[in-house]
Amino acid sequence: MVEINAPAPGLFAICHRLIYTYIYQLINNHMAQKTNSAFMKPMNVSSELAAIVGTGPMPRSEVVKKLWVYIKSHNLQDPTNKRNINADENLKKVFDGKATVNMFEMTKLVSKHLS
Q: 76-92: per-residue pLDDT in tens?
A: 999 999 999 999 999 99
pLDDT in tens, 31-51: 655 555 666 888 999 999 999
Q: Over pLDDT 90: what percentage of the chain?
A: 52
More confident residue, 111 or 29: 111
Write down the pTM of the prediction. Answer: 0.66
- At the top level of CATH, the class of 41-111 is mainly alpha
**Number of other CB atoms surrounding residue 54 within 10 Å:** 13
Q: Where are the domains of the chain?
A: 9-37, 41-111
Q: Is the pLDDT of residue 4 over 60?
A: no
Half-sphere exposure of 23 (CA within 13 A, CB side): 6
More confident residue, 79 or 1: 79
CA distances from 68 to 36, 73, 99, 112 (A): 24, 8, 17, 17
Extract the runs of DSSP E, i.e. beta strands, from 1-115: 42-43, 58-59, 84-86, 100-102
